[in-house]
Amino acid sequence: RAAAGPAADMGEETAVKGMRPVSEDTIAAISTPPGEGGIGIVRLSGPDAIAIAGRVFISSSGRDPRMGSGRVFHGEVKDNGLVLDEVLLHVMRAPHSYTCEDVVEINCHGGAGPVNAVLELMLREGARLAGPGEFTKRAFLNGRIDLPQAEAVIDRIRAQTSAGLRAASASARGALSVEIGAMKDTLVELKAIIESAIDFADQELPELITPELHARVTDALDRMKSMLAAADAGRVYREGASVAIVGRPNVGKSTLFNALLRESRAIVTGQAGTTRDVLHEIVTIKGIPVRLTDTAGLRETSDEVESLGVAAARQALEEAAAILFVMDTSDRDISEDRKIAKQISTTETPCLIVANKIDLMGQSRQDYFAELSLKVVDTIWVSAKTGKNLDRLEEALGNLLLGGVEFAPDQGHINRIHQKDSLRRAADALGRLLADMERSPELLAFELDEALRALGEITGETTPDDVLDRIFSAFCIGK
């Protein structure tokens, strides 16, 4: 199913799996990132890929790369007798390649000089410079992968944590496609029955639908709803979240920041107001890439450098997905904390109180925070200095960022806005259908078609062209 490919209405560019693809031109691009490295790869895909490479490649063994497939040839790329680079040439013949087309990958020495020279030569020999994501788009249009699998390619490239990579790998293997496919099968079954009720008007529809099928349709709707709920969690794994650490001077923000980083970046000091810049660092908390922002604290100050820091701190608060409000439990005076609490309460950002320095006082003052008139998600008692309960803090922060949703990276999941939009429309249509099955079969068929079309937008069969263009333009060139 996963490789069934887009429907025939995609026009001439569509090919059925295993058939020769139909792209007319040959594209070329540098597929490795800019800069110096061991190797740099120029990739060609299309009907003339092997011919173009064959014209400029001189094999050191004398074997002709135009004859081989799935093989690697050593030799030189020459431009009018001038050697551009010593290379390895990898020939993959259609359909056994990334794009399902003839593909040649030229492994050059990794640097701007060799790869640019080889790419330019390919363009002069008749290849066209590939657009962003065009290789992957061809793999999709040629039916080798479906849309979720194409999108998983970019998720893999961008994954910042092992959880993110696992989720992308599951989609790449077709986990989402399989789930959506199963939903579609159920709906198609239901549609056949509804259509028979339209054709044979004497039959009552509810009697035609077996309890078993009705249960499966209900299950499909439940699964849509849980996928929608998990969608935001998936986005958090993929894109990460930013978290602001706030609190008055000397409560231990920098110490906490460093403890979470497990390396020293912020300046830890006993003097107030020395963390002048807002520091950013990415840490992994419960598999989530978290951008931690350590602020200068939300307080008025006459020091010019520091007031800049205060403005930045306010902005960090607004933009954060969560706030860690650090307080010093060894200090009885909470008048300053109260001011910060007031600032926090003007934002919508959820807040965890980090009651710090319990190594000094213990958890003796549970009533300490009740006075702050602040809506907080939870209070975690920690010692940033000794590391006590930091695991609990990470647990609570992870749950907060995921919105309390259990996220199973290995299952089918959606994580893009267009997927969410389509799945919500499918769920709405199916919900309306199930809410009143007594309506005319024509009306029910209409809702069902809407649901099926929306599901097809996720797998790529009915995705509008502008959405497709947007998806692939987010890729890098050469992918």
Contacting positions for ligand GDP (CB under 6 A):
247, 249-255, 268-270, 275, 356-357, 359-360, 383-385
Question: What's the maximum distance between 2 C-alpha atoms anywhere in the chain?
Answer: 86
Decide whether 29 or 298 has the Cβ nearer to ligand GDP: 298
Residue 281, beta-bridge partner list: 292
Pick 297 or 409: Cβ nearer ligand GDP: 297
Given the complex with ligand GDP, which of 38 and 270 has the nearer CB atom?
Answer: 270
State in angstroms the smallest separation of the CB of 384 from ligand GDP: 4
- What is the rounded CA–CA span in Å between residue 177 and residue 166? 16
Distances (CA, A) of 194 to 27, 210, 217, 439: 47, 12, 13, 11
Listed in sequence order, the DSSP H helices in 57-161 are 112-124, 134-141, 147-158
Of all residues in this chain, which one has the CB nearest to ligand GDP in the complex? Answer: 252
237 and 409 Cβ atoms separated by less than 8 Å: yes
Tell me the DSSP string of 228-294. Answer: HHHHHHHHHHHH-EEEEEE-STTSSHHHHHHHHHTS--S---SSTT---SPEEEEEEETTEEEEEEE
Cβ–Cβ under 8 Å, residues 180 and 228 = no
Q: Which is nearer to ligand GDP, 213 or 268 (CB)?
A: 268
Q: Whole-number minimum distance, CB 249 to ligand GDP, in Å? A: 5
CA 317 to chain centre: 24
Which one, 384 or 452, has the nearer CB to ligand GDP? 384
**Closer Cβ to ligand GDP, 42 or 382, answer by number:** 382
Residue 102 CA to residue 90 CA, distance in Å, equals: 11
8 Å CB contact between 334 and 327: yes
Cβ neighbours of residue 29 closer than 8 Å, sequence gap 6 or more: 42, 43, 119, 129, 130, 134, 135, 477, 478
| Least distance between ligand GDP and beta carbon 429 (Å) | 52
**Minimum distance from residue 296 beta carbon to ligand GDP (Å):** 9
Q: Both tokens of residue 442?
A: 């024509």
CB of 294 to ligand GDP, least distance (A): 7
What are the backbone dihedrals phi and psi of residue 86, each rounded to the nearest 5 degrees, phi first? -90, 130
Cβ neighbour number for residue 199 with a 10 Å cutoff: 9
Q: Which is nearer to ligand GDP, 171 or 250 (CB)?
A: 250
**Shortest Cβ 368–ligand GDP spacing (Å):** 15
- Closest distance of CB 357 from ligand GDP, Å: 4
- Nearest distance, CB of residue 334 and ligand GDP, angstroms: 15
In the complex with ligand GDP, the residue whose CB is nearer, 268 or 477, is: 268
Nearer to ligand GDP, 13 or 359 (CB): 359
- Please provide the size of the chain in residues: 479
Please say which residue, 205 or 267, places its beta carbon nearer to ligand GDP: 267
Exposure string over 354-363, b if 16+ CB within 10 A, otherwise e: bbbbbeebee
Could you tell me which of 314, 279, 276, 316 has the C-alpha nearest to residue 296? 276
In sequence order, the β-bridge partners of residue 380 are 354
Report the nearest approach of ligand GDP to the CB of residue 288 (Å).
Answer: 23
Cα separation, 333 vs 325, whole angstroms = 16
Q: Which is nearer to ligand GDP, 107 or 258 (CB)?
A: 258
How far apart are CB 242 and ligand GDP at their closest, in Å? 18
Q: Provide the minimum distance between the beta carbon of 259 and ligand GDP in the complex, in angstroms, as a whole number.
A: 8
